[in-house]
Structure 1
Amino acid sequence: MKARLCLVLAVLWVVTVAVAGWSFVKGWTTPSSDGRTEILLAPSERDMILGEMRQLLKAVHGVVVGLAEQDQSGDRQQIEQAARGAGMGMAVDVNPAVMAKLPLPFKQMGMSIHRDMDALADAVVNKETTQQILLRLSSMTARCTTCHDLYRFGVER
């Protein structure tokens, strides 16, 4: 009897881990009508993710404006602050329940952008050239456009 109970519990544990792993990788997604993958979120979760994306875009804008200014010494601090504001510090408070709904490639792209924003801020401090900073920024925005080409947000039903 105990052996059978242990076997049932072990099977339930394996199934639970498999479902959790599959959910972590796939997220709460469905195919969308435009060929992208639709990520299903509660309205407040969707608003939170879209708000974070707007903050990232504002950071990119801050970097570009800083690079366009003539007084590079003063503007380097502005560029660093804009980039640092969108770094990993921005990602630390994301609700784990929301993260569980996002597919793994989406999470990987998002986290790589936050890490790269911190690296861009470090590059500004280390006095990389405008061209080097723009190349870094170009690499990041390429991932942004790829993500927008692959995913869209929908509301859970």
Structure 2
Amino acid sequence: MVDEFDFFRKVRAYYNNVPFLVQFTYRLSHRVDKAVTARGSFSCRVNPHTQIVEYVIDLRSDSISRPYSEHSSFLFSSLYDEIPAQSIELNQFLIQALRYPLPIEYDWQAFVMSGAEDAVNMQTIQQLFKKWRFKSKDEQPVDGKLKVGQVLLQWQL
């Protein structure tokens, strides 16, 4: 059994800036996707007043750019707006909040690690990327057609 203050202290110490890697693609032109990598880390915060563990991520991708391209065929026409060099950046983004039960008579590390694997995975990162829009030269939002291929948590406990 762990008391709540000890739980708070250990979660902050052990689960601060845990690195992860995201491999994804973006649409470069008609049927051509380009692979990119993003490096991130997640940290856990504990709010003892509400009994919630919060998972917060920081993420920065490699530079992404795309020239203007247009593809026409007999059946369809595809237009891809230019994306000037930029990267995806998320800072202190709250991705999940879990209520932890009291008293803490369970394996709290397994609880936190399970929550992290639920928070930082292909589906949740893909949902974040669906909302992400790059900016064109004239500051208009551009969809890069991002598709997450793999998310790797790097546990070092």
TM-score tier after normalising by the smaller chain length: under 0.3
User: Under a length normalisation based on structure 2, what TM-score does the superposition of the two structures give?
Assistant: 0.27
Question: Which has the larger share of helix?
Answer: 1
User: Under a length normalisation based on structure 1, what TM-score does the superposition of the two structures give?
Assistant: 0.27
Higher RCO by CA contacts (8 Å cutoff, separation 6 or greater) = 1
Question: Which has the larger share of strand?
Answer: 2
